[in-house]
Chains A and B, each alone.
Chain A
């Protein structure tokens, strides 16, 4: 039942207004970050306020203005959009808190630009999550590309520029070359741009070949989902600061990609048509190849951030595979994994950032002794890692369970083996990190210890001193402690959420159930 409501608009505007305020208060960092935080909380409240209605099976609508004849820029909130929006906006709050600690501790340049583009990225995300039709969807998809491009190139170095170029080429290239024609083709066949609960295309309107081509165009057009061979932008984009990586991997960008794939499968094609066209099998096949290749590749990496990047590529394809199973349990697992992966992966990113901040370590081979030194951080890391691997009692176990039973119930045994192999691989490469951190004793030669061996607070103190030269020495120590806390707390919170979702998945399951109502 559709209801007119301005709530989606409010969620969209909260971050837009936030961006304006962030720029307005660019000379007052504390006020600037307060605005960012306030905007994120407001946005989250606005998103949550839509939850009861959506859980009751309703959709909320808001039409902004007519864009082209018969096409309006319009919002439509359903369970899928709300799940994406709620994940993104809740994580924006935590990412903001984390960023304050991280960016200040490192004395990063151009922080106003960073916070402003972060807020804009959230507006684009809300627009995408709530898009009521393919035109609105496409506009926000491209907007997100350009906004996050500015974040990827945050460090104005040659490396960042190269990463930015790759980022633009992959996202723009695929979306213009494949997604745009797919959208136009869909309209030509169906006569509408609007998403429908059961899809807009049907086998009566066009031949099997045509529909299959459109589907593949869509799938190839969603560069943000990082399906092999359109994945290479993701590891390269790691040159950006850690909070940006968190935004890419957990809050906005890759989720946007998977969300787009869900929208296409559920609301453009519809489950029945997908089944009639046998499109599930190629989807699962492409996703399986991506999962296996990315997992094997990640296995031999030593750089932590690169490992996380390849892990993300594999995890995204879990979700797409889930949707492609076209089986209620599998699809539930896929959609749930969107939220679960976000919380798990962002925990890992927060921890990796904290480890870098405290000890300047970026490689797995340097991780020995980190566990005892940063026990909270590594504990959070362990929970995030368990969830990504898919072990109880974390939420990741739940989604893996749904995926695996979905694969078995629908009789797709090879998928089950793909899941098994990739789980084993990820178990090895993630638990190796944790094991090294806790159980391998620090090597006793001096060179290694000169920089890294100092206590974390001391290190933070030094960074903080660089960041704020005018502050007095006594205040600095307190400040450094606070900055350290600001990066630790978000990681602990997200780890707690990962556990909570694993133990009490009721609300999440109810929301996901509404997606397949």
Chain B
């Protein structure tokens, strides 16, 4: 895999990725200085909006269908240790940048009415989270990547602890951080081992992704590094059986953070970005294990979701199930499976955000996300119910919605590996239809609770957000071609490297 690089200076004339990282970070700092709440909210919306426009433009300028790294920037940093500031995007990462910006903007808009406790600090933490997450997606130096990966814990911790909506948010925030630290220690060790191997093979330390792909890793060492990296990414993915932080975060944390952590699958991204190309032999050897864990997650998450009465818990286990499907797609190690996974993750970003947004709006209206508090919502708030239904169909992956092309490609890829994998995938889709539609029926149709509850329908700005997400769902669902084309070149190069 000889990846060429196109410098940002040649493509757009300015370091666009650095700007994308810095814009939210600097806005976050500015926000801590603004005292007026309204002004702070406006600033955050403006920054998140500008970030989205810039990110979408970047994806628009991106040359699709090639495997080149684009918008690349390199700045020497700690040269003796082989660490540099090296960023760039290719087909695997490019879609996640606008997705991050979209999710952030949605959360910022949603927080306008839902967050009243120190909104400026909340927004600052959120934008910091955005900056770091974009950093994760564009880093091509593993130390830089790890830096972003770890720093993300700081805003996440405070967001969970200070703005959580559950009574046990304190312990949830600690749980989350402990889980992530447990995952990141082996991840760091794996990264160091890759750098050391580069030293022994090429005579100098390097943590640069492109350098690391040029030196072979000994067979025995590959297995070890694979184990370390896979553990680190699996915790974040969240891959069964390392998923138990997910319900805690969704139940206790603020809904906005739930959108962020569920919608942006950095763990699965880590597998595609680093694990597959850097330790390909170990990946080939252990793909059965990862697929197996994926299948287990699909079925386990689906069955557990089926019996949930709390909507947020249901969405947590749905996320576990979906992450399993994405993992299964990645470890088919074929073009269809990996492309399907990338598209599925993009879809999940939109869908998790949409469903959690509407869950949040329901929570604001009823003070609960328990099934017992719902019932008959469709007759009182038809728009809310309709949007929830459409976005839910995309979560199931029905044809015409953004969930279908990704799932279909994963199933195609999985079938090429073994029919049982595809069978499990299909079972997952059936389960997701079952848990979503049965919950929908109980919560949205049927009779309303006796005591005179009234749920107002969506307000105008809420309609705008939900409609935007819905349009995106249909756009990708009906015309997935361009999205697949963007990812095709890099995925093809990756698969060729694996073989």
Contact = CB atoms under 8 A, between A and B. Distances in A.
Given A165-B441, A180-B426, A184-B415, A65 B399 contact: no
Contacts of A158: 446-447
B422 A65 contact: no
Nearest to A213: B419
A256 to B, nearest CB: 15
Nearest to B437: A168
Contact of A177 (B408, B411, B430): B430
Contacts of B429: 176, 180
B177 interface: no
Contact of B430 (A66, A69, A176, A184): A176
A139 interface: yes
A161 B445 CA distance: 8
B441 A142 contact: no
Nearest to A142: B399
B479 A143 contact: no
B321 to A, nearest CB: 15
Quick one: which of B408, B437, B447 has the most chain A CB within 10 A? B408
A138 interface: yes
B400 A67 contact: no
Interface in A137-192: 138-139, 142-143, 146, 156, 158, 161, 165, 168-169, 172-173, 176-177, 180-181, 184-185, 187-188
Contacts of B400: 139, 142-143
A68 interface: yes
A124 B445 CA distance: 26
B488 interface: yes
B379 interface: yes
Contact of B398 (A135, A142, A185): A142
Interface in B418-464: 419, 422-423, 426-427, 429-430, 433, 437, 441, 445-447
B481 interface: yes
Contacts of B426: 176-177, 180-181
Interface in B389-425: 393, 398-400, 404-405, 408-409, 411-412, 415-416, 419, 422-423
Given A156-B379, A176-B430, A184-B415, A68 B399 contact: no
B186 interface: no
B484 A68 contact: yes
Contacts of B393: 146
Given A68-B480, A168-B437, A185 B419 contact: yes
A67 B405 contact: yes
Interface in B474-497: 479-481, 484, 488
Given A165-B441, A188-B412, A173 B430 contact: yes
Contacts of A65: 479, 481
A146 B405 CA distance: 18
B422 A181 contact: yes
Contact of A69 (B398, B416, B484): B484
Interface residues of A, number: 27
A184 B424 CA distance: 13
Contacts of B408: 68, 135, 184
A451 to B, nearest CB: 30
A184 B412 contact: yes
B428 to A, nearest CB: 10
Contacts of B416: 188
A69 B446 contact: no
A67 B481 contact: yes
Contact of B412 (A66, A168, A173, A187): A187
Nearest to A188: B415
A75 to B, nearest CB: 15
Contact of B409 (A68, A138, A156, A177): A68
B298 to A, nearest CB: 14
A67 B480 contact: yes
A65 B481 CA distance: 9
Contacts of A173: 430, 433
B431 to A, nearest CB: 10
Contacts of A68: 405, 408-409, 480-481, 484
A77 B33 CA distance: 66
A146 B411 CA distance: 22
B328 to A, nearest CB: 14
B488 A69 contact: yes
Contacts of A66: 481
A188 B423 CA distance: 14
A184 B28 CA distance: 48
Nearest to B378: A156
Given A68-B484, A176-B430, A139 B399 contact: yes
B416 to A, nearest CB: 6
Contacts of A185: 415, 419, 422
Contacts of B484: 68-69
B441 to A, nearest CB: 6
Interface string B360-400: 00000000000000000001000000000000010000111
B433 A176 contact: yes
Contacts of B409: 68
Contacts of A143: 399-400
A172 B399 contact: no
A181 B479 CA distance: 23
Given A173-B433, A176-B430, A138 B399 contact: yes
A161 B441 contact: yes
Contacts of A146: 393, 398
A173 B433 CA distance: 8
Contacts of B480: 67-68
B388 to A, nearest CB: 15
Given A158-B446, A177-B426, A172 B433 contact: yes
Interface string A349-384: 000000000000000000000000000000000000
Nearest to B405: A68
Quick one: which of A66, A69, A142, A146 has the most chain B CB within 10 A? A69
Interface in A62-119: 65-69
A161 B379 CA distance: 13
A515 B433 CA distance: 36
Contacts of A139: 399-400, 404
A214 to B, nearest CB: 11
B498 to A, nearest CB: 19
A143 B411 CA distance: 20
Given A188-B415, A188-B416, 7 more contacts: A67-B479, A172-B437, A176-B426, A177-B426, A181-B415, A184-B422, A185-B419
Listed from nearest, the 5 A-B pairs whose CB atoms lie closest are A139-B399, A142-B399, A184-B415, A66-B481, A188-B415
14 contacts: A68-B408, A68-B481, A139-B404, A142-B399, A161-B445, A161-B446, A165-B437, A169-B437, A173-B433, A176-B429, A177-B427, A181-B411, A184-B408, A185-B419
Interface of B: 379, 393, 398-400, 404-405, 408-409, 411-412, 415-416, 419, 422-423, 426-427, 429-430, 433, 437, 441, 445-447, 479-481, 484, 488
